[in-house]
Structure 1
């Protein structure tokens, strides 16, 4: 009796620790969803109107969108940092790769945010510009929006493919979640990557029907893993959960 109590207590403590990591990761995954989708709608004016920088614009709306993108980028990093202590038991190299990929994705998103904030700053500081000044301002605004468009492709467009392969492999090997969940990532990664490459070479548009369909499996994978980790946590029977 006395020999089993410490063992049960230690097992319970390990489960609690992995539970906290899983809850944090699940919450961060869901935050990326909650923040990124409305952000895309809020920044639409600066993306859709070429003369935004020289004309009237709803700067407050765009600023809110940029703030949500910032939150999404930080949550992106949080998803990897939260699970690293657990999944590194399966493969430290893959776990470190996942953290690095998330850092790259967040950094690229932030570059896009800075470019849009620069558009707002120039519009406010140089309002009323005319003639050649207005023409130069218009060209600068177009260039900054183009930077943001490329960051949207290289960040949320490309990097989720590598994230799904890295994190999905860790979850599939460790059985920390049902294997159907990482399989969604394995299906979605090549589809999204194919769509992104086609867009990169000008054969597809990021807002086309094909891009939307190619994004669905990856979105389903990230939503599924976020909800599962937040509600259920890591499966306690998995070896990685016991070693954490």
Structure 2
């Protein structure tokens, strides 16, 4: 019997570690596991925090990150990757350098620039590096509503604005755009994401709005799910549709972990897709 090495689909998360397990690399690996993909990781930073908030963080040395990339390239067949929060220009450029050096498949960029409430997470220099140098390498980018406004340099108030912003994001160099709709109005009942594909095809994905504080890791999990589906050989369109259903189900079925802002429930979607 011949056993082929690396036959099983493998995906990579390039992200920081969140000690409470709700977001970052932990959310990505939860998602890879639930989507039946073997998850590998390049750790870029460590965050100390819990459901009440983030209390400290530290970046890893770029030489260590270089070694992580090399070790994975020497042994694994990674078929798709995703980035999470990359906190400064040196770190972003280290990721870019290594991604150009090694073949780790299509890249999903979750451009972690602002919180889901619109607060900036990156200094201007790091933001500019991400915008000008990393996004043009992306197969898919998945900005939240506020990140899309920042990147497109416009206010988004209508569905037409969403479509215009997506075209502006595509002009930055990313091939496919997943522009996540606003979900900060407690009176809304639906959330609509706009998808603009490399082919020019576009469509909306609409799901229920859930007024809950159990939403940590939503963006991480969406981008990780897209990467997982791409690693299995699925199209970008199919990957986006699966990811929307996956995350909506994970938000809908709450898990009571932590006292304040809790994680989504990665177990929930298994029987719903």
TM-score by length of 1: 0.28
TM-score of the aligned structures, taking structure 2 as reference length: 0.26
More strand by share: 2
Higher relative contact order (CA 8 A, sep 6+): 1
